[in-house]
A and B are shown apart, each in its own frame.
Chain A
Amino acid sequence: MMSDRTSLKWQWVASASGIGFVFFYTIFFGYYGHNLPPVSAALSADDLAAFYHANGSAILFGQTMAAFFGILWVPWTAQLTVVMLRIEGKSPVLTWIQLIGGILTAWVVVFCPSIWVTCAYRTDIDPNSLRALNDLGYLMFNITYMGTTLQAVAAGVVGLADRSEHPLFPRWVSWVAILAGISFIPITLDPFFKSGPWSWNGTMNFWAWFGTYFAWIVTMSWCMSADVWRKLKAAA
């Protein structure tokens, strides 16, 4: 069987992969992918094609690397699962719900970039096809947020239910998770607006998925990494 110290080292890597995800995804999906914020949904097919022409190489690079680094959501989810199993105990239904949500979110952050890679792949793509594919990428990325919402809310609920002497997550961290999960709900409005705060690049709906998730991942990663670090020191 694997030794405690070896296991804890892998757990530390998995915990820190949340911060790694945030860092690399912001650089590649966000900066190179030209998603800070995303291009407007109101652009005509020709204007969107011009945007892809102007920024095609950066988008191709950014989204390909986003698909690469997006997988960091998996080890992070796995560590959150291990931690929640410990807290929730027998019959860990919220842990399983979190895991299912995490797997679906991992699909989104890895596979939607490949749709945008497809958009940037051919410089002579028909503008109407380009617009349909680009729409598909953003709508699949966005309105399927409920998996991520359940992951965040379940993690927060279990964090709050921790009755141990030194809870792994401070209460405010659990509340950040719950609030992040709930903050995604207005994203269901995305399909009904091509501009304004509720469109996918709008002040409300963009910052909901880019801003609040950021706070949730960074805080929970930090707590999980600190917890493993303490255990590693104790095992020394």
Chain B
Amino acid sequence: MTDKASLKWQWAAGFSGVAFAVLYGIFWGYFGHNIPPASPALSPAALAAFYIQYHGSILFGESMGAFVGILYGTWSAQMALVMWRIEGANPILTISALIGGILTTWVVVFCPALWAAAAYRTDIDPNTLRTLNDCTFILFNITYMGTTVQAILAGIVGLLDKGARKVFPAWVSWWAILTGLSFIPITAMPFYTSGPVAWNGAITFWIGFTTFFVWMITMGWYMAVEASYRLKQREAGGARYGASGKVAA
């Protein structure tokens, strides 16, 4: 494959982080009625009423959430490529981050499928519904460590970039580290059905999602910008540069 063709795909993969943030916000967030999610304190009957009231919208939002969620995977692939270039030989931080990215992709694609299953039958027994809903929110949230590992390592590698033209401004790398750390209180989530750490609370939901989306948008943006820059270099026939000062694609 030619360098120019590859760089176009790399641009798309980098930008897919921005696309994920927007599309997942629309489908899972808005149509799925997750801004914020329904309270874990709802009784089975009240939760069933919520699912019945928003049945079509939830089914649509979660189906499309599973569809657009894969963009987390494409963004993680470009992240791994960029980190690998910076880290060089023995890219242990890159591989660890990639594993975290793959696990996170599972969460953002498969949990919507679980919620779609919960919404599939309007005559589902309310207790079964609540159990399925609980299971999915817990799976979605307390498994954050994959995402934390990816975010912190991306930030560290971004800060360690010694190339002539750094991929990420320092503040973007620091934001990534902050994002990874911001999820840690979520481990307390199973102990609360209300308050700031519950899955609809200020810390778990509002802070957690804000840091997460800003991280994806900023790192996605700068990876796309980098691919664009390299493409312009190719088209101008300019010198090839590498992230660590060595010649690279």
Q: Which residues in A have some Cβ–Cβ distance to B below 8 Å? A: 87-94, 96-97, 99-101, 103-104, 107, 128-129, 131-132, 135-136, 139-140, 142-144, 146-147, 149-150, 158, 161, 163, 188, 190-192
Residues of the A chain whose Cβ atoms lie less than 8 Å from the Cβ of B117:
132, 135-136, 139-140
Q: Across the interface, do A143 and B248 meet the contact criterion of CB distance under 8 Å? A: no
Q: Which residues 69-110 of B have a CB within 8 angstroms of A?
A: 69-70, 73-74, 76-78, 80-81, 85, 98, 101-102, 105-106, 109-110
Cβ-defined partner of B124 (8 Å) among A87, A132, A139, A140:
A132
Rounded to whole Å, the gap between the CB of A222 and the closest CB of chain B is 23
Q: Across the interface, do A139 and B113 meet the contact criterion of CB distance under 8 Å? A: yes
Report if A91-B81 is in contact (Cβ < 8 Å); known contacts: A129-B128, A191-B116: yes
Cβ-defined partner of A100 (8 Å) among B5, B77, B118, B124:
B77
The answer for the CA separation of A129 and B129 in the assembled complex, in Å, is 10
Q: Across the interface, do A146 and B114 meet the contact criterion of CB distance under 8 Å? A: no
Residues of the A chain whose Cβ atoms lie less than 8 Å from the Cβ of B98:
96
Q: Across the interface, do B73 and A91 meet the contact criterion of CB distance under 8 Å? A: no
Rounded to whole Å, the gap between the CB of A151 and the closest CB of chain B is 10
Helix, strand, loop or mixed for chain A's interface?
A: helix
Q: Across the interface, do B109 and A144 meet the contact criterion of CB distance under 8 Å? A: yes
The answer for the CA separation of A158 and B143 in the assembled complex, in Å, is 34
Rounded to whole Å, the gap between the CB of A123 and the closest CB of chain B is 19
Q: Across the interface, do B1 and A146 meet the contact criterion of CB distance under 8 Å? A: no
Residue B171 is within 8 A (CB to CB) of chain A in the complex: no
The answer for the CA separation of A100 and B3 in the assembled complex, in Å, is 22
Q: Across the interface, do A87 and B102 meet the contact criterion of CB distance under 8 Å? A: no
Rounded to whole Å, the gap between the CB of B38 and the closest CB of chain A is 18
Residues of the B chain whose Cβ atoms lie less than 8 Å from the Cβ of A131:
121
Smallest CB-CB separation from A88: which chain B residue? B1
Q: Across the interface, do B110 and A146 meet the contact criterion of CB distance under 8 Å? A: no
Number of inter-chain CB pairs below 8 Å: 125
Residue B54 is within 8 A (CB to CB) of chain A in the complex: no
Q: Which residues 154-171 of B have a CB within 8 angstroms of A?
A: none
Q: Which residues 113-135 of B have a CB within 8 angstroms of A?
A: 113-114, 116-121, 124-125, 128, 132
Cβ-defined partner of B105 (8 Å) among A100, A132, A142:
A100
Smallest CB-CB separation from B74: which chain A residue? A97
4 tightest Cβ-Cβ pairs between the two chains A and B: A90-B249, A96-B77, A146-B70, A136-B117
Q: Across the interface, do A93 and B9 meet the contact criterion of CB distance under 8 Å? A: yes
Residues of the B chain whose Cβ atoms lie less than 8 Å from the Cβ of A139:
113-114, 116-117, 120
Q: Across the interface, do A91 and B110 meet the contact criterion of CB distance under 8 Å? A: no
Q: Which residues in B have some Cβ–Cβ distance to A below 8 Å? A: 1-3, 5-7, 9-10, 13, 59, 62-64, 66-67, 69-70, 73-74, 76-78, 80-81, 85, 98, 101-102, 105-106, 109-110, 112-114, 116-121, 124-125, 128, 132, 248-249
Smallest CB-CB separation from A147: which chain B residue? B70
26 A-B pairs whose Cβ atoms sit less than 8 Å apart in the complex: A89-B6, A90-B6, A91-B10, A91-B85, A91-B248, A92-B6, A93-B81, A94-B9, A96-B80, A100-B77, A104-B73, A104-B102, A104-B106, A107-B110, A135-B117, A136-B114, A139-B113, A140-B110, A140-B113, A143-B66, A143-B113, A147-B73, A149-B70, A163-B1, A191-B63, A192-B63
The answer for the CA separation of A97 and B118 in the assembled complex, in Å, is 30
Q: Across the interface, do A93 and B114 meet the contact criterion of CB distance under 8 Å? A: no
Q: Across the interface, do A146 and B13 meet the contact criterion of CB distance under 8 Å? A: no
The answer for the CA separation of A144 and B110 in the assembled complex, in Å, is 6
Report if A144-B66 is in contact (Cβ < 8 Å); known contacts: A88-B6, A96-B80: yes
The answer for the CA separation of A135 and B129 in the assembled complex, in Å, is 12
Q: Across the interface, do B78 and A93 meet the contact criterion of CB distance under 8 Å? A: yes
From B6, B77, B114, name the one whose CB has the most chain A CB atoms within 10 angstroms: B77
The answer for the CA separation of A97 and B98 in the assembled complex, in Å, is 11
Q: Across the interface, do B113 and A188 meet the contact criterion of CB distance under 8 Å? A: no
The answer for the CA separation of A97 and B16 in the assembled complex, in Å, is 12
Q: Across the interface, do A128 and B124 meet the contact criterion of CB distance under 8 Å? A: yes
Q: Across the interface, do A100 and B76 meet the contact criterion of CB distance under 8 Å? A: yes
From A129, A139, A146, A150, name the one whose CB has the most chain B CB atoms within 10 angstroms: A139
Q: Across the interface, do B132 and A101 meet the contact criterion of CB distance under 8 Å? A: no
Residues of the A chain whose Cβ atoms lie less than 8 Å from the Cβ of B85:
91
